[in-house]
Amino acid sequence: MKLVLVIPTYWGRRGGEPMRDEDACYDHPTCLDQEGTLGRALESIGVLSHPDLRVLVVGAAVAEELEREMEERASSIVNRYRGRYPLAFLGPSALRRVKDLLRDEAGNEVAEVLELRGYSNIRNVCLAAACGLGAEAAVLFDDDEVYEDPDYLLKVEEVLGKEFHGRFVGALAGVYVNADGSVYLPPQKDWVFSCWPSVESMNAALAIIEEADELRITPWVFGGNMVVHRELIMKVAFDPRITRGEDIDYLINARMLGYQFYLHPGLRIRHLPPPKTAPLWRRFREDVDRFIYTREKISSRLPEGWIRVRPEELDPYPGRFLREDLEDLIFKTCVLMGLSYLSQGDERGFRESMANLNRKQVVLDGTPPALAYADFLNRYRACVETVAASGRIQAFLESLYN
């Protein structure tokens, strides 16, 4: 099986320079004046055993004015590992060339599907590039992780694209292993989140790993440890209106289109994330927005032929946050967060925490989310179909390995 292992790498401002309001929000982008984790991730790929593997690093910056320096820093790290295995770097300048070719062959609307801003858009670039490189499957990996199992890809090949209990296995979810060897999140100790049961719900979801000795359908997936068969690459897109939690949203999109993700308990990756950098209120806003949007997406009008996904099918996580009491959970947490900021004398933090109470009117613009996603999906499918058929785009992507 021809595999393309795609690694998005996120870069922010220099150390000590605060995040700006207009910056894209990522959990822990690498500062431009620091080494970051990309080299460690690339080093770990050397343990994998596979005869037909290509690796593609996709670089994104939090702001457009940082892109040139980001490309220089990220590509210099990538270049250290060239020769160990087929490896290339795709950043904003290379993506501009791909989009120019797309415009020539399919028009501007199709070309504009590909953007390097926001988790969902970046993941779509990863899928489209893998498709253009002839991948039978895209292996999604993040730069704050390391491989330790030489047989990881062999385990993928054993099941992906085959049938399990009469159903097509088109997508696999793997497991994150923490530095201490546990798969669970540490208990939430911050009183601000005493009414926001995310850790408890996620750990309840992770508990299914302990019960699993074979593939099983899963309600969650980690974006840095998932594998997507070409059939799904061509039919299912990440939703660009989801700026955080794009991995689980992709799982939901796949379900609405008739595909399931399967948890493979043997696909384990060590997760070693640096500290998060965005303000707490900003990170919580991303969660508020995605749960409001996703709840509306699965409950409102669907395109003809799509399958409705119900919250209980996604229990315990993210289903816990897709019910009628979501606003109550948000209200209590915003109040507690605002009080915390006030106690620290941080007036802006207080204001922004309170502003998170009114996100519903910002997130929902009147268009049923599933219909909006369907419109984007049509353009995405035209995009990947063009990439798959275009000799010029394929030749350009191949040239990145020279």
Reported as a single tens digit per residue, the pLDDT across 210-243 is: 777 889 999 999 999 999 999 999 999 999 999 8
Report percent pLDDT > 90 for the chain: 90
Contacts of 205 (CB under 8 A, 6+ apart): 219, 220, 316, 317
Q: CA separation (Å) from 238 to 135, 181, 191, 258, 306?
A: 18, 30, 33, 15, 16
pLDDT, tens only, 86-99 = 999 999 999 999 99
Q: What pLDDT was estimated at residue 278?
A: 86
Specify the 3-state DSSP secondary structure of 399: helix
| Cβ count near 206 (within 10 Å) | 18
| Cβ count near 58 (within 10 Å) | 24
- Rounded CA gap, 181 and 276, in Å? 21
pLDDT, tens only, 241-280 = 998 899 999 999 999 999 999 999 999 999 999 988 889 9
Specify the 3-state DSSP secondary structure of 268: strand
pTM of the predicted model over 0.75: yes
pLDDT, tens only, 298-335 = 999 999 999 999 999 999 999 999 999 999 999 999 99
218: tokens are 């899963």
Helix (H) or strand (E) holding 57: strand 53-61
- Rounded CA gap, 221 and 247, in Å? 6
pLDDT, tens only, 119-163 = 999 999 999 999 999 999 999 999 999 999 999 999 999 999 999
By DSSP bridging, strand 137-141 and strand 171-177 are unpaired
- Rounded CA gap, 383 and 128, in Å? 8
pLDDT, tens only, 197-211 = 999 999 999 988 777
Peptide bond into 150 cis (omega under 30): no
Residue 41: name the closest of 73, 11, 9, 68 by CA: 9
Please report which confidence band the pLDDT of residue 355 belongs to, taking 50, 70 and 90 as the band edges: very high
- Written as one letter, the residue type at 32 is L
- Rounded CA gap, 75 and 58, in Å? 10
pLDDT, tens only, 50-60 = 888 999 999 99
DSSP H helical segments within 13-91, as ranges?
Answer: 38-45, 67-79
Q: What pLDDT was estimated at residue 365?
A: 81
Q: What pLDDT was estimated at residue 69?
A: 97
Q: Dihedral sign for Cα 299, 363, 187, 31, please.
A: positive
- Rounded CA gap, 295 and 288, in Å? 11
Residue-range domains of the chain with CATH? 3-399 (3.90.550.10)
